[in-house]
Amino acid sequence: MRKLIIATLLLFALLITWTQSWLFIPKPKIDDLSIVHHQLDSLGEGRLVYHKNFINVQKDGLWELYTEGSPFEIGYATGILTKDILHKHEDAFISKVIENSPIQSHFGVRLFNSLFHRHLDNRILPEYLEEIYGLSQHTKKEFDVFGDDYQRVLNYHGLYDLERSFDKVEINSSVSFAIGKSKTNNQGILIGRNFEYDLNDEFQRDKIIHFVYPESGFKFASLTWGGFIGTVTGMNEMGLTVATHPIKSDQPTKATYPVSIIGREILQYAMTVDEAYNIALTKDSYVRESFLVASAFDTTAIIIEKTPDGIDSIHIDQEALVATNHLQSKKLNETHLYNLDHATYYKSIRLRELIDNQQSFDVHAMANVLRDTKGFENTTIGFGNHKSVNALNLHHSVIFKPKTRQMWVSTHHRQLGKYYCYNLDSVFSNTQNYPPKTSLASKEFTLPEADFIYSQEYRNYNSYKSFVELITNWSPKDPPFKDKELMHFKRLNPESYQTYEHLGDYYRKLRDWDMAAINYRIALSKEVSSIHLKQEIEEKLYALRN
């Protein structure tokens, strides 16, 4: 009996020690902390300087951030200069962390999140841990109940890997495509990129274009958000570009090397597509991801497809290369069959159609493709449909011209506003001047906003989004909508399946089963964004019959 008690106590002690090893992770040791003693200076509204680092907040929702130095210095300066957007975006991260946790108490959320991301710090390169540690000094202290600041920011980088269920990948279906020099009048390769990552409307409006001058590796620019050092879209000073694409994966049981950090390492240390492939090859990943990588040095582009079981690449043909959110390599044995019911496959077909219909491409033609809201064969499928190349729900839209180190970045109005041009050679040569310029953009190369934002259809869509919020939050305790209000709602976005699904939901709350069924059937007759959402509507209709 005594031996059993001793064995039980030893086992319990080991369990506590093991739990503490991932619940309380050690912080990186920083030898030089001099960066923390500098003063934050303001040069006017939206313009801040911290030591050799600065930020310009443009009125178009674009935050131009420049940082340099050691990893900790870059992270610390990033945190202090972007504190406002960091705090707003951390609210969105914490909401998503709570949503993903099976336990809703503060300690339960922390326990689950720490268990999933256990030993994540042992898998990431020390320089990125130091940068994350510096950034974490400026997080919201009220969220310490979910873990200390360093551990929270570290875990946020695993959150991107968690959003891999089929319906989430379908709804957040990003696209990128490369146009070969045979269709660009020998301007070199052009790359277009639309990125969706739907946390909330505030998250979609503001974005950071981060220009980084690291101690080692290449200087680069990355499109990002507060509290994040990974790369989903970017270009380095050598003209190598990266665009990442999440692919449906089995739910991972633990975190490994976050795919966004793989993207960051490629951007910082690769000049050729072979170097990019070799970096991806050496990293473990428990989720599926594809990376569209283009290189000015090689004058080519490839898609690197990575799964927990293998890696493969697809090279550009004479004209184009298209990436959405499904595997294309036969070697990796994609078991899921895709067709036009799936947003990721539908978008790839639509992109190919738009590319084939265009004789030659310049940056204006690239912007037209990225702004496309139509369906296959130019059909009208409703605004906000995730089968569109532009679902009017983007975080950012970017055009790259690697040969000249130029990148065009979209501004708000649902990313249909102006594309500001940034020349990396010019940006990094001018960052040493003081005071910094009010904008790092080369304004003479700005692409104008889409004509669509001045149309009645666009005004209708904005009104539609406001009405969606009203009808979604309506309860039987509220006064019912008038018939003319519902007719007006229908006219705002008449070809969208969502219009009729919302009406069906409303009539179901009213217990008007006939009208609910009529609207659900109309919704199913439209182009539904994904097979999962189509099944949900079918289930609602079936429930009415029973």
Question: Over the stretch 524-541, which tens digit does the pLDDT of each residue have?
Answer: 999 999 888 999 999 999
Is the domain of 333 the same as that of 410? yes
Do residues 233 and 244 touch, judged by C-beta distance below 8 A?
Answer: yes
Write down the pLDDT at residue 249. 77
Is the domain of 15 the same as that of 57? yes
Assess if residue 274 is contained within a domain.
Answer: yes
Q: Which residues of 399-419 are buried (b: 16+ CB within 10 A; e: fewer)?
A: bbbbbbbbbbbbbbbbbbbbb
Give the CATH number of the domain where residue 354 resides: 3.60.60.10
The answer to which of 242-256, 313-327, 394-408, 434-448 has the lowest mean pLDDT is: 242-256
**What percent of the chain is modeled with pLDDT above 90?**
65
Assess if residue 44 is contained within a domain.
Answer: no
The candidate with the shortest Cα–Cα distance to 264, out of 229, 304, 310, 218, is 229
Do residues 182 and 193 touch, judged by C-beta distance below 8 A?
Answer: no
Give the CATH number of the domain where residue 528 resides: 1.25.40
Given the structure tokens 């310490």, which residue do they identify?
144
CA 526: distance to chain centroid? 27
Is the domain of 415 the same as that of 469? no
Q: What is the chain's Cα-based Rg?
A: 24
Q: For residue 110, is pLDDT > 70?
A: no
Question: Over the stretch 325-351, which tens digit does the pLDDT of each residue have?
Answer: 988 988 886 666 677 788 889 999 999
Do residues 14 and 6 touch, judged by C-beta distance below 8 A?
Answer: no
Assess if residue 197 is contained within a domain.
Answer: yes
Assess if residue 156 is contained within a domain.
Answer: yes
Question: Over the stretch 265-307, which tens digit does the pLDDT of each residue have?
Answer: 999 999 999 999 999 999 988 788 999 999 999 999 999 999 9
Where a domain ends, among 385, 420, 443? Answer: 443
Mean pLDDT calculated for residue range 21-44? 85
pTM higher than 0.85: yes
Is the domain of 405 the same as that of 473? no
With bands split at pLDDT 50, 70 and 90, how would you rate the model's confidence at 21?
A: very low
Is the domain of 231 the same as that of 360? yes
If one compares 438 and 459, the residue with the highest pLDDT of the two is 459
Mean pLDDT calculated for residue range 83-103? 77
Is the domain of 415 the same as that of 479? no
Is the domain of 386 the same as that of 523? no
SS3 253: coil
Write down the pLDDT at residue 212. 98
Write down the pLDDT at residue 531. 86
The three-point CA angle 381-162-177 to 5° equals: 45
DSSP summary character for residue 282: T
Write down the pLDDT at residue 412. 81
Write down the pLDDT at residue 4. 59
Integer Cα distance of 171 and 325 in angstroms: 10
Write down the pLDDT at residue 26. 80
Assess if residue 4 is contained within a domain.
Answer: yes
- As given in the structure block, the two tokens for residue 177 are 């495509």
Range of the domain at 517: 457-545
Write down the pLDDT at residue 113. 59
Question: Over the stretch 499-521, which tens digit does the pLDDT of each residue have?
Answer: 999 999 999 999 999 999 999 99
The candidate with the shortest Cα–Cα distance to 492, out of 460, 453, 454, 528, is 460
Is the domain of 376 the same as that of 493? no
Write down the pLDDT at residue 18. 41
Q: For residue 108, is pLDDT > 70?
A: no
Is the domain of 472 the same as that of 426? no
Is the domain of 272 the same as that of 416? yes
Is the domain of 247 the same as that of 120? yes
Q: For residue 437, is pLDDT > 90?
A: no
Question: Over the stretch 452-496, which tens digit does the pLDDT of each residue have?
Answer: 999 999 999 999 999 999 999 999 999 999 999 999 999 999 999
Mean pLDDT calculated for residue range 108-136? 77
Assess if residue 33 is contained within a domain.
Answer: no
**What percent of the chain is modeled with pLDDT above 70?**
86
Write down the pLDDT at residue 14. 45
If one compares 155 and 328, the residue with the highest pLDDT of the two is 328
Is the domain of 384 the same as that of 525? no
Integer Cα distance of 449 and 461 in angstroms: 17
With bands split at pLDDT 50, 70 and 90, how would you rate the model's confidence at 20?
A: very low
Integer Cα distance of 546 and 543 in angstroms: 5
Question: Over the stretch 367-420, which tens digit does the pLDDT of each residue have?
Answer: 999 999 999 999 999 999 999 999 998 999 999 999 999 999 999 888 899 999
Q: For residue 112, is pLDDT > 70?
A: no
Write down the pLDDT at residue 164. 58
The answer to which of 5-9, 83-87, 401-405 has the lowest mean pLDDT is: 5-9
SS3 349: helix
Quote the number of domains for the chain: 2
Average pLDDT of the chain is 88
Neighbouring residues of 156: CB distance < 8 A, sequence distance ≥ 6: 90, 93, 227, 228
Write down the pLDDT at residue 420. 97
SS3 percent helix, strand, coil of the chain, rounded to 5, is 45, 20, 35
Assess if residue 36 is contained within a domain.
Answer: no
Write down the pLDDT at residue 342. 85
Assess if residue 452 is contained within a domain.
Answer: no
Write down the pLDDT at residue 166. 44
With bands split at pLDDT 50, 70 and 90, how would you rate the model's confidence at 101?
A: low
Where a domain ends, among 418, 443, 468? Answer: 443
The candidate with the shortest Cα–Cα distance to 401, out of 299, 474, 501, 483, is 299
Q: For residue 15, is pLDDT > 50?
A: no
Write down the pLDDT at residue 13. 43
Where a domain ends, among 443, 478, 509? Answer: 443
